[in-house]
Homo-oligomer: A and B are copies of this chain.
């Protein structure tokens, strides 16, 4: 029914091979034949069959992206960065929303051995390092965004958790706070751990004793943050500031504070991480650490595409992007400030 490459070839009076060369702009075709073929292609409204091309060339020009929840702004922005770079390099992006279900992530990884994708980008905290190595060991191309992994061969893109966490906590200390709580994500997440490290470094540098009872984990989501905040306040150990390992959990902290009549920032200063779009609309606007989400997505997509095309010879496969502390009203109480940031 549809036109194939032989039909175009016949009409143009050339061989299928030549049409193929034109299509993939090989340098070995005369300008004249090329023009002719292009014209026939246009006339016949010919479209190459993707699957045939993929089967023959053994590449799909498709990248998969696994995220826990596309609805969370942090992941959506990363995907956007990936998509834009992919589009510029004529790659497609298959989106794999794991719905926070590890089984679903494992199944989606299967796209690699099925050769439905040429590479996979993981933006998920769930998959164990070993599950990832299973694939990289077989030569599959995998990139990781926003989390650390103990394997220097895998390209990974992240920010400096320790560094920005220390800055965030030192900002709170600079505001006069001494009782500062820390809320992490999953207990076993390397990100959580590194952010805690930064927190402790700041405390230590200012000779503030570290209180384990002022620490809790909120699973990186709103509900978890809410519940962790309730546990923290239940303890009756006073604290005047809290450093929360991501903005989603900070939403839960806001909710808990509202319910308990704790005023932000008068009674409690709050600093989050991610600079989700939502944070600047909160009341008060939330201080947070900008994560260059779009840039991380775009960079990782570019690196993987370069690797697949053998344009990537760099030894260093770990890319650390700078992140910036954004101070808003949630951590800085001033009467003279405008109503919103």
Which residues from chain A sit less than 8 Å from chain B, CB to CB? 2, 45, 47-52, 54-55, 58, 60, 62, 69-71, 73, 76-77, 79-80, 83-84, 87, 92-97, 99, 104, 110-111, 113-116, 251, 254, 258, 277-278, 281-283, 339-340
Besides A94-B95, A95-B95, 4 more A-B contacts (Cβ < 8 Å) are A49-B55, A50-B60, A79-B95, A83-B95
Residue of A48, A87, A97, A283 with most partner-chain B CB within 10 A: A97
Question: What separation, in Å, do the CA atoms of A83 and B51 have in the docked complex?
Answer: 22
Task: Enumerate chain B residues within 8 angstroms of A70, measured Cβ to Cβ.
Answer: 70, 76, 79-80, 83
B48, B54, B79, B94: the one contacting A92 at CB < 8 Å is B94
B47, B80, B97, B258: the one contacting A80 at CB < 8 Å is B97
| In contact, B47 and A114 (Cβ under 8 angstroms) | yes
Residue of A51, A70, A116 with most partner-chain B CB within 10 A: A51
A77 → chain B, closest Cβ, in Å? 6
A62 → chain B, closest Cβ, in Å? 8
User: At the interface, is chain A mostly helix, strand, loop or mixed?
Assistant: mixed
A116 → chain B, closest Cβ, in Å? 4
| In contact, A51 and B93 (Cβ under 8 angstroms) | no
A222 → chain B, closest Cβ, in Å? 10
- Minimum CB distance partner of A45 in chain B: B113
Task: Enumerate chain B residues within 8 angstroms of A97, measured Cβ to Cβ.
Answer: 79-80, 83-84, 87
| In contact, A115 and B51 (Cβ under 8 angstroms) | yes
Question: What separation, in Å, do the CA atoms of A281 and B283 have in the docked complex?
Answer: 8
| In contact, B116 and A104 (Cβ under 8 angstroms) | no
Question: What separation, in Å, do the CA atoms of A258 and B50 have in the docked complex?
Answer: 52
B2, B51, B73, B281: the one contacting A281 at CB < 8 Å is B281
B49, B52, B76, B281: the one contacting A71 at CB < 8 Å is B76
7 A-B residue pairs with Cβ-Cβ distance under 8 Å, sorted by A, are A51-B51, A51-B115, A52-B55, A55-B55, A83-B96, A93-B94, A258-B340
- Minimum CB distance partner of A276 in chain B: B278
| In contact, B71 and A71 (Cβ under 8 angstroms) | no
